[in-house]
């Protein structure tokens, strides 16, 4: 899965990738080294991976986040065109989304005229939550350097300083949207295939979705 993402990043022209590692980190570094094709690789170690969530992993990499960035999670499969769409958008900050449908779950965005008006984490979606206009985030984001330096990183620092290290970094995004400090354009996946792989069942679904391009030997968890 990681190799697939790295190949997609190289294809999109990305020159530097920062990978936060934890469990079996030595295997990841041994496999990929410090260079993947034309792209330089930097590793950041999360020693507390068993007790923290991705807000802490991202915070550990904060010193590497001094430019416009693409933020991707490591459990994704996606068609390369998705990265092209988010890179080429005229908006400095953007989130790739899909129309919400069952059995999707996780963070959603409510948008108006192509811009995020609010972001709701799974914990905020009660029994009566209205999904009729919800857009599912697929965990590919574009964030500009001004947004990172002026808003995202300072707020993330505050959350981590408060000990909120077992949270998703979307709590930062949601708060910034509410504050009017983050203007997220939403980029629909359209016909591009994507899959989030957390379980063996997810893996099997992804294999079916991406056939005949992939076999069971091409994806591992």
pLDDT in tens, 118-128: 999 988 888 88
**DSSP 8-state symbol, 69:** E
Name beta bridge partners: 39: 36
Ramachandran region of residue 24, left (φ > 0), alpha (ψ -120 to 50) or beta? left
Cα–Cα distance measured from residue 176 to residue 183, given in angstroms and rounded to the nearest whole number: 9
Residue 219 has pLDDT above 50, yes or no: no
144 close to 65: Cβ distance less than 8 angstroms = no
Domains of the chain: 2-210 (3.90.550.10)
Tokens of residue 92, six digits: 């400095």
Confidence of residue 79 (pLDDT cuts 50, 70, 90): confident
What is the sign, positive or negative, of the torsion defined by CA atoms of 127, 133, 181, 60? positive
Cis ω before 103 (30° cut-off from 0) = yes
Residue 72 has pLDDT above 50, yes or no: yes
Mean pLDDT, rounded, for 28-36: 97
Closest CA to 205 of 136, 99, 104: 104
Whether the pTM exceeds 0.75: the reply is yes
**Least confident residue range of 10-19, 125-134, 163-172, 211-220:** 211-220
Closest CA to 115 of 43, 46, 187: 187
- The gap from C-alpha 180 to its chain's centroid, in whole angstroms, comes to 21
Beta pairing, strands 39-45 & 185-188: unpaired
Cα–Cα distance measured from residue 188 to residue 53, given in angstroms and rounded to the nearest whole number: 26
Residue 67 has pLDDT above 60, yes or no: yes
Residue 215 has pLDDT above 80, yes or no: no
Nearest-5° angle of CA 136, CA 67, CA 41?
85
């Amino acid at each position: 899965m990681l190799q697939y993402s790295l190949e997609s990043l190289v294809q999109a022209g990305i020159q530097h990738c920062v990978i936060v590692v934890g469990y079996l980190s030595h295997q990841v570094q041994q496999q990929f080294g410090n260079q993947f094709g034309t792209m330089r690789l930097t590793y950041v170690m999360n020693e507390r991976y068993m007790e923290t969530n991705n807000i802490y992993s991202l915070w550990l990499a904060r010193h590497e986040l001094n430019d416009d960035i693409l933020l991707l999670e490591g459990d994704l499969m996606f068609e390369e065109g998705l990265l092209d769409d988010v890179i080429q958008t005229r908006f400095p900050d953007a989130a790739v989304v899909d129309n919400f449908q069952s059995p999707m779950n996780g963070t959603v965005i409510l948008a108006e005229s192509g811009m995020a008006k609010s972001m709701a984490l799974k914990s905020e979606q009660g029994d009566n939550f209205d999904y009729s206009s919800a857009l599912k985030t697929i965990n590919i984001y574009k964030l500009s350097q001004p947004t990172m330096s002026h808003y995202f990183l300072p707020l993330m620092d505050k959350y981590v300083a408060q000990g909120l290290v077992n949270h998703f970094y979307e709590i930062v995004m949601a708060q910034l949207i509410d504050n009017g400090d983050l203007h997220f354009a939403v980029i629909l996946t359209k016909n591009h295939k994507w899959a989030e792989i957390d379980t063996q069942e997810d893996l099997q679904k992804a294999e079916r979705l991406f056939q005949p391009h992939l076999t069971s030997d091409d994806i591992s968890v």
